[in-house]
A and B are shown apart, each in its own frame.
Chain A
Amino acid sequence: MSDAPMTTNAKTGWMIMIAVVVLGMILAWFTLDAGKVWVTSETVTFSQVGVDDQATWSEGAIAGAPQVSWVVATEVKPDTVGATLSTNRTIGVWLAAILTLFIMSFLAGDNPFYKTAESIVIGVSAAYWMVLSFWTGIVDKLLVNIIPDTTRAWAVPGLPESAQFNWIYLIPLVLSCMLIWRLSPKGGWIARWPLAFVIGTTAGFRLLSHLESDFLLQIKSTITSLYVVGADGFQFWPSVSAVVILLSVLCCLVYFFFSMEHKGVVGKTARVGIYVLMVTFGAAFGLTVMGRITLLTERFDFLFDDWLHLL
């Protein structure tokens, strides 16, 4: 632990806190059934119909036929008929609650619990992303186009029979190999080719999409009449709004001007521009508070309801 050694006071503080939390947890387990999850289970069975090449599977048990089955569990209230305590889900809820508290403990300062949670989240999430990119990127995108028949038999049974080897996918395959070549001690520069390909396509694609959807679309939606007429004649405030919007956009654009120093008229206009930007930021800040508080509410909901069954 790289921190400066803790003071005795801080250590005692942590000790007391840990003791209180652990005692509380034990108490909660016995009095509140904390974290306990009940489920009902249902077995799904499939039976083989036909033989060899023609073999298909149909749902339901057929006597004598080869069968496969698995259990599907549904979370239910404890008083439901046939409900059983699910060990793995109960352990899961406890684990989730403990990890939640570990992360929150960071608010009191860096500590071993947070470090543990941090180490877990990095390891687990890196692996999670890798697993998902393997199945959805490598298998579902690359392999189905390079070796369709093998992939169909192995992992994508729904791949249509019409699917064929698609040579265009050799491009990403070759580029991927060049990229991984970086692991070899020699010729690491070969990885620059795929990087150049990626950055080149990115530049081309983004140039178009941002110019079309951000530049043109935003100008288009700002264009409105500055003299607003409604069902009952001239509308004062909407007209004022329209004028203010147009002037504000122009002032902000002046703020972003790089060629001229912010002095004189340009400086004054740019100043108005930065004021508008500050109001924009203030508004976004205020609106975001609501979202962030909701996230905390959800976490407390989990702790109080799913774990402690207090609500």
Chain B
Amino acid sequence: MLNYLRNLDRRIVFLLMGLAVALPILFKLSFPEPVPEGSQPYHVFDQIDNLPDGSRVLISFDFDPGSQGELLPMAMGFTRHCAQKHHKMYFMCLWPLGEPFVEDAMNIVIGQEYPDLIYGEDFMSFGYKPGAEAVIKNCIVDMKTLFITDSRKTDLNKIPMTANIKSAKAMDLIINISAGDPGTKQWVQYAATPAGIPLVAGCTGVQAPLLYPYIPNPLKGLLPAIKGAAGYEQVLIAAYPEMGAADIVDSKYSSKAALQRMGPQFVAHLLMVSFILLGNFIYFYDKKGGA
């Protein structure tokens, strides 16, 4: 038995991991997910909710399909929250594979749940812009020379929302959803800090440790990984029970997408812990036996 474990095929490990994730999904396993008062999801919620209705919010989708599992629920949560508050939403995207998510946020979430919001007056998209941090740097200086047109190739001077805006300094809040570089760190360094614009962000689990040092200044709130997203969804639902009532077909755009993904976490984490314990048990057994 021990010999079998010692030479355990990687594929067995893979299979167990697959089951640990698949079974909780199939059986819709869920565990309580306490959101302590004063935790990050509340900070993020307050930043958006306490802005006067109709404030200008720059939302940058800096991720790609690879990270959609973690970040799409937050991105859609932010969009819903801003739409609910009638904030003016300025979408942009710094990752080449991320722009379709901006379109989904506008067409699916805003289009189906907030049909009275109008493109160009309540929300608009600058589209994808290559250049990473250079885009962010130029963004706080002159958006019109930077973007020239919106993602539909309309002159920015002819769009009511952008006609009178020169740079991102006119924004009341920047929301950034990021999977890496360019992402939250660059928004902190090149926009939020020099221009003094409040910033809230959602990020992947990998990025989170690097971003904790920037809270609370200038990063006003951070949703780390799916746990943060689930917490934010819970806070949102508590505040606006009617939110996300529309019949969205694709469950990944639903207002409870992140909450649904917390079940598998529990089982998989326990499995990981058991792997570590088992690995060390074998190691020490062998060492003691002088093998």
Contacts and interface: CB of A to CB of B under 8 A. Distances in A.
Query: Do A and B touch (CB < 8 Å)?
Result: yes
Contacts of B155: 158-160
A76 interface: yes
A300 to B, nearest CB: 5
Interface string B205-231: 110110001000000000011110000
B250 A136 contact: no
A299 B69 contact: yes
Interface residues of B, number: 58
Contact of B28 (A133, A157, A217, A311): A311
B204 interface: yes
A136 B129 contact: yes
A241 interface: no
Nearest to A38: B249
A140 B148 contact: yes
B261 A213 contact: no
A172 to B, nearest CB: 12
Contact of A287 (B225, B247, B249): B225
A305 interface: yes
Contacts of B28: 311
B261 A294 contact: yes
A209 B148 contact: no
Interface in A270-304: 280, 283-284, 287-302, 304
A75 B269 CA distance: 35
B154 A158 contact: yes
B272 to A, nearest CB: 6
Interface in A165-209: 209
A288 B206 contact: yes
B130 to A, nearest CB: 5
Interface in B1-15: 11, 14
B153 A158 contact: yes
Given A107-B11, A136-B129, A301-B252, A287 B150 contact: no
Given A158-B153, A287-B205, A294-B225, A300 B25 contact: yes
Interface string A104-139: 000111000000000000000000110011001100
B58 to A, nearest CB: 19
Interface string B19-54: 001100110100000000000000000000000000
B96 A129 contact: yes
A158 B149 CA distance: 6
B209 A283 contact: yes
A297 B14 CA distance: 14
Interface in A257-280: 280
Contacts of A157: 153-154
Interface in A66-89: 74-77
Determine which residue in B22, B26, B66, B69 has the highest number of CB atoms from chain A within 10 A of its CB, and name it: B69
Given A158-B150, A159-B148, A289-B205, A294 B26 contact: no
| Overall SS of chain A's interface | helix
A interface bracket (residues with beta carbon within 8 Å of B): 35 or more
Given A77-B247, A283-B209, A301 B148 contact: no
Determine which residue in B28, B107, B206, B251 has the highest number of CB atoms from chain A within 10 A of its CB, and name it: B206
A310 B26 contact: yes
Contacts of A163: 148
A221 interface: yes
Contact of B227 (A128, A133, A280, A290): A290
A144 interface: yes
Contacts of B70: 291, 294-295, 298
B189 A213 contact: yes
Contact of B133 (A109, A158, A209, A306): A209
A156 interface: yes
A156 B206 contact: no
A136 B148 contact: no
Given A136-B129, A159-B148, A298 B206 contact: no
Contacts of B213: 218, 221
The 8 tightest CB contacts between A and B, nearest first, are A298-B69, A291-B205, A158-B149, A158-B155, A213-B189, A294-B226, A295-B69, A158-B154
12 contacts: A108-B11, A141-B130, A209-B189, A213-B193, A287-B205, A287-B209, A289-B205, A290-B227, A294-B69, A294-B205, A297-B261, A299-B69
